[in-house]
A and B are shown apart, each in its own frame.
Chain A
Amino acid sequence: MKRSLTRHSFRLASARAIPDARLRAAVRKTAGVLADMRAKTVASKPDFEALRDWGRSRKIEISGDLAKWADQFAANVERQGGIVHRAKDAADAGRIITEIAKAHGVQVAVKSKSMTSEEVGLNQLMQAAGVEVTETDLGEFIIQLADEHPSHILAPAIHRSQDEVRSLFAEKLCAPDNLDVEGMVRFARKVLRHRFLEAGMGITGCNFAVADTGTVTIVTNEGNGRMCTSLPPVHVALVGMEKIIPSIKDLPDFLSLLTCSATGQRASSYISMTTGPRRAGECEGPEEVHVVLLDNGRTNIAAGPWREILHCLHCGSCLNHCPVYNAVGGHAYESPYSGPMGTVLSSLIWGENIYPDLANACTLCGRCVDYCAVKVPLRSFHRTLRNRNRQATLKNLLPARLAAYPGSYRRGIAAARKLLRNKSLAPLLRATNQSAANWLSCRELPTPTNEQSFRQWWQQRIPNQQDPPQLIREEQPAKPAPIPGADRVPASPSEQELFELYRQRATAIGVELAEITPAQLAAQLQALIQAEAVSCTALPSGNWPPEILQQVTAILQASDSHLTTTEDNVHGNGWHLDDLINARLGVTWCNAFLAETGSMVFAAGSGNGTLASLLPEVHLAISSKEALFADLKAYFKANPGTPPSRLTQISGPSRTGDIEGTMTVGVHGPRRVIHWILATENNSSGKG
């Protein structure tokens, strides 16, 4: 929400921002890194353009009937045991979430980055109600410490240099003042780990709300989203109505559009799909899941000419590619939504009285449209938001009428040519005309030469009709013959090719991949425990093929490392939390991994949660080769029906680029992700 409901002036805010060269350098650096990463991935995805078209047409179906999809989503959340609240505006959303907190006696809440919550001003409302909210995304954490607001929807601390973050950490957290970026990330991990464990409530936004399953999907790289949805006993998801997509079948393509456009990742490190609360027999996950479905003007926007802004995936790509955003940074927009998409959303949500000149914050260059994940016509929207409530009067039609009348037009041109040659015009204009003075602030007045006008020349000239043409007009080459077989559908890749793709993609994002035999398992595991000086290992009991679980358990019991499992809770099924927190290594059985994105997929179930792959510093996943799928689509196809309460797609280690775009691993989740594939005769688990 706009911090104070006073009239914003982009002119003043941008004029204040421009002299700050340090700010501009920081913004350009990070935005440039993000844009380059996108370019690299898109160049290697020949189907990306078609995917953008698909995304747009699918979104048109959705925004055409928001209410229908919202009802379907709400019904399915409730069917899965979630509780749905409808919030008509920001105040409503704040009241609902505050009341949930009070009902559970929550004093400390952790929050995963959510611009929708910024739109609502949730932190202020919660704090006023006595609930302490800690931002857990590193970028959001930094700006919360600095008592600032996000300046980019994806990288909220884009405007802060690492030196500034270092001083901030030293001042507010008593951190040593000589930490490098990795050191700062490690420090934040420690501080925030405590908050996660004491929080009574996890608050998240939502990237995609799946109508036909009631699934809330959150995309993060650090792992804080997973923490917020699995550690605290209550999870509240604040979902803007526009985040709904019809079907889980749409999810993989939308995820791909989002992450490729945002950071050039084929998949973000973590994709958390939450479908209702913890189910009977499960030992992890929140006991209550609340979904707050926010309207706040969205129904009205959907009924108007700027409806397509609701298609926005909030990927941030338009910001990264906007020359104006890159020059002034996000704060000049004085809204949680900045840059091209923010200009439209802010203007529509808060109106012309609050944001009178934001639509002018655009050169109409159109670059944002080229890089938009779902081709929102942002340029056209910026234009049509200008003067949108103006009624043309006869008086202000006069200049156009004069310009359209050849006689007055010609006299006007002649007068301008004469005036502009007059040296005393510039000082006079500067003193009397604001627009001219603004032009002259960094440019001279254009001056025509003394030569005759084009019309005079045209009237006097004798057309050259004798000489043969000097330039040869070639016939257009015929359309190239279609390459035979170019339209043939490529043969589906073999298992071996898919595996090779997985190897490439997983390795590229930092997964340590090895193929080992069951006979090598003991020696390899021992070596890992020694190398990482593991004093405690977490081993969820569910999901494993029994003979492999037996083998792994035996190895771990024989090692120096203490073993903790999901059968350790004295009250029954579940972890002994203190032991789990101390575990440095988590060993899991992974029964699905995806070639296209180099990811692993973990489904919650009895004795089988997702915490062992999240809390420890090192995550070792073991699979059989048969667990390979082409991509998330193929996985959903093989596993139809109601998704598990929590389904997590993991792509490499936990990572962040929130400090100056410097990629650092191990923020909230593991810094090492190891994947051992058993070259084995043992095929007891796998597809389907």
Chain B
Amino acid sequence: MLLPSHVALFLTCSAETLYPAVGRACVTVLEAAGFEVAFPAGQTCCGQKWFNSNEPAEARILARHFLEVFEDSPAIVAPSSSCVDTVRNGYPELFTDDPALHKRFVALGSKTFEFCEFLDKAGIRQLPALPAPVLTTYHSTCRTLRGIGLVGVAEKYLQQLCGDQFVPLPNADTCCGFGGTFSVKLPEVSGQLLHDKLDAIVATRAEVVTALDLSCLTHLSNGAKRLGMNRQRFVHLAELMAEALQGGRA
């Protein structure tokens, strides 16, 4: 596919609040691939919480705002599969009764990409290896796998970054138990699934855990912290790529 050389970064509310480093890493990697990155200052949140709670009036407010901010961008890149899924697959569903607007949302969705998905579509086939890779595993979040249908891409990049230090996670396609409001509405079940996922992570002996969704990573890393697991570092894949480009951990 033909991709423009200008991209707009949609950082997402979780990255803005908690992970500025992920935003910086995205910029570093995109620029290293020759893209000119814009950061539209008017951007806010995609409204996923309202969409998933079936509160369409609220979700529409956020969708319209997103359209206003990003409609003119040639391509939109976000370090979060679930937000991309909301924009690409959720927004059009909110406007089925308005054909003109629906069409604009479909167009918007078709040029909104998850960060790693975008690199793959842009033809980035080879990443430099990390100078001193450690055992690294990958949680392929539900929205990465089933929302945007990105299968095998992150794993391929991780093999280039980490070589034989990349270890796949068993039961990779099972949910980590975050589920947005699920995590606070059914904390017992959420906690059980969290602990199952952390057990799987521990069994890999990995020191780095990556994913393409910051909300799942927040749930996992803070669950690990509660259990006193301090061996593992939870990072977005963009951060590992930026480290490789910059010759090591900044």
Contact = CB atoms under 8 A, between A and B. Distances in A.
A680 B45 CA distance: 76
Given A14-B188, A364-B142, A366-B142, A446 B54 contact: no
A506 to B, nearest CB: 34
Interface stretch (B98-106, B107-115, B161-169, B172-180): B172-180
B53 A386 contact: yes
Interface stretch (A147-155, A207-215, A229-237, A387-395): A387-395
A416 B245 contact: no
Choose among B1, B37, B174, B223 the residue with the greatest number of A CB atoms under 10 Å from its CB: B174
Contact of B146 (A369, A436, A455): A369
Interface residues of A, number: 73
A454 B24 contact: yes
B44 A452 contact: no
Interface stretch (B26-34, B70-78, B204-212): B26-34
Contacts of B44: 403-406, 409
Contacts of B188: 14-15, 18, 441
Interface in B1-51: 1, 11, 13, 15-21, 23-24, 27, 29, 31-34, 36-37, 39, 41-45, 47, 50-51
A417 to B, nearest CB: 6
Contacts of A487: none
Contacts, number: 221
Nearest to B171: A323
Given A474-B123, A474-B125, A476-B1, A323 B193 contact: yes
A365 B180 CA distance: 10
Contact of A448 (B18, B24, B41, B142): B18
B90 to A, nearest CB: 9
Contacts of A454: 11, 15-16, 20, 23-24
B226 A444 contact: yes
Bin chain B's interface residue count.
35 or more
A9 to B, nearest CB: 11
A364 B215 CA distance: 14
Interface in B183-206: 183-196
B189 A328 contact: yes
Interface stretch (A54-62, A90-98, A465-473): A465-473
B218 interface: yes
A383 B21 CA distance: 32
A387 B53 contact: yes
Interface string A234-251: 000000000000000000
Interface stretch (A172-180, A354-362, A589-597): A354-362
Contacts of B182: 360, 362-364
A401 interface: yes
Contact of B126 (A15, A397, A435, A472): A472
Choose among A324, A416, A449, A471 the residue with the greatest number of B CB atoms under 10 Å from its CB: A471
Nearest to B55: A387
A323 B39 CA distance: 37
A367 B174 contact: yes
Contacts of A447: 18
A475 B187 contact: no
B122 interface: yes
A228 to B, nearest CB: 37
Contacts of B154: none
A446 B58 contact: no
Interface string A36-58: 00000000000000000000000
A438 interface: yes
B233 interface: no
B132 interface: no
B16 A472 contact: no
A470 B33 CA distance: 6
A360 B186 contact: yes
B231 interface: no
Nearest to B142: A365
A630 to B, nearest CB: 34
Given A392-B57, A413-B13, A442 B194 contact: yes
A457 B9 CA distance: 14
Contact of B124 (A361, A365, A436, A471): A471
B50 A363 contact: no
Contacts of B21: 449, 451
A406 B190 CA distance: 32
Interface in A387-428: 387-388, 390, 392, 396-397, 399-401, 403-406, 409, 413, 416-417, 420
A472 B245 CA distance: 13
A353 interface: no
A400 B146 contact: no
B193 A469 contact: no
B236 interface: no
Contact of B17 (A416, A444, A471): A416
A463 interface: yes
B153 to A, nearest CB: 14
Contacts of B196: 327
Given A367-B174, A409-B45, A471 B146 contact: no
Contacts of A392: 55, 57-58
Nearest to A363: B179
Contacts of A328: 189
17 contacts: A360-B181, A360-B185, A361-B189, A387-B55, A397-B58, A404-B44, A417-B17, A436-B184, A438-B184, A441-B187, A443-B194, A443-B222, A444-B225, A448-B20, A463-B31, A471-B29, A471-B119
Interface of A: 10-11, 14-15, 18, 24, 323-324, 327-328, 357, 360-367, 369-370, 383-388, 390, 392, 396-397, 399-401, 403-406, 409, 413, 416-417, 420, 435-436, 438-439, 441-449, 451-455, 457-458, 463-464, 469-476
Given A406-B42, A473-B33, 16 more contacts: A11-B186, A323-B175, A327-B193, A364-B180, A386-B54, A400-B61, A404-B44, A404-B61, A404-B65, A406-B44, A442-B194, A463-B31, A469-B34, A470-B33, A471-B127, A471-B245
A-B interface, 10 closest residue pairs, ranked by CB to CB distance from nearest: A363-B179, A442-B191, A400-B58, A469-B34, A365-B175, A392-B57, A454-B23, A404-B65, A365-B142, A438-B187
